[in-house]
């Protein structure tokens, strides 16, 4: 879900927008929080922190909205910051303390890195959906050629085609893929196929 899709859904029904955002980003937020709190928190602590993350996200949207393209990075940053706060609070209450690796902490707090990783994931999702939209056997051939580094003869054996036939189908599929990606505002080089 992009920030634009969320804004549209929010304008129709804030409750539905909150539910959709929660459903889409729950696993992402839970994994960030779990990785920070697993050494000092209970399951209830983790769930409470996750709830606080979403409350903070909803509150931020109601106050300021989201800037374009920042939804993944924003949610990741809020989750990391809340988890670190909970970690400090829980560690202070416990009899023992665990150290946080300073390099890991600097990586988490780096908004640019979070945004970059979120953008890469979104780009991969777009590329995969376009490859799947090519239909069979073209999508399978493209995946075999560019992801599994299979040559034309290996692909030809699996699809009962000649090597030349595979090369021709792949060339046509790449042209279709390039057109689909350009309609979405991306190029093949950008997607690093």
**Contact assessment for residue 50 and residue 26, using Cβ atoms and an 8 Å cutoff:** yes
Distance CA 28, CA 154 (A): 38
Q: C-alpha distances in angstroms, 46 versus 36, 71, 87, 135, 140?
A: 9, 22, 10, 42, 40
Instruction: Tell me where in the chain the CATH 1.10.1740 domain(s) lie.
Output: 3-109
Give the separation between CA 119 and CA 109, rounded to whole angstroms: 17
Residues in the chain with pLDDT < 70? 1-3, 65-70, 94-116, 188-193
Please compute, for residue 52, the number of CA atoms within 13 A of its CA located in the half-sphere on the CB side: 16
pTM for the whole thing? 0.47
> Cα 163 to the chain's mean position, in Å?
36
Residues 6+ apart with CB under 8 A from 123: 186, 190, 191
Q: Where in the chain is the domain with CATH 1.10.10.10?
A: 124-191
User: In the structure encoding, which two tokens stand for residue 59, read together?
Assistant: 């509150």
Tell me, what's the pLDDT at 163? 87
Question: What's the CATH number for 124-191?
Answer: 1.10.10.10
What's the CATH code, domain 3-109? 1.10.1740
Q: Do 3 and 68 touch, CB atoms closer than 8 A?
A: yes
- Looking at residue 52, its pLDDT comes to 92
């Amino acid at each position: 879900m992009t920030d634009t899709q969320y804004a549209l859904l929010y304008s129709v029904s804030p409750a539905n927008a909150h539910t959709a955002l929660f459903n889409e980003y729950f696993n992402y937020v839970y994994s960030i929080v779990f990785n920070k709190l697993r050494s000092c928190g209970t399951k209830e602590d983790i769930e409470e922190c996750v709830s606080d993350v979403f409350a903070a996200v909803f509150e931020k949207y109601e106050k300021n909205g989201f800037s374009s393209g920042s939804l993944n990075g924003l949610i990741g940053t809020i989750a990391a910051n809340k988890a670190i706060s909970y970690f400090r609070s829980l560690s202070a209450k416990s009899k023992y303390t665990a150290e946080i690796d300073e390099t890991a902490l600097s990586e988490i707090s780096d908004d640019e890195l979070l945004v970059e990783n979120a953008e890469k994931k979104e780009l991969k999702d777009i590329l995969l959906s376009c490859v799947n939209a090519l239909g069979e056997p073209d999508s399978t051939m493209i995946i075999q050629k560019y992801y599994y580094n299979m040559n034309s003869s290996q692909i030809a054996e699996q699809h009962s085609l000649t090597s030349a036939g595979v090369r021709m189908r792949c060339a046509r599929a790449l042209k279709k893929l390039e057109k689909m990606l350009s309609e979405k505002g991306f190029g093949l080089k950008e997607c690093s196929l």
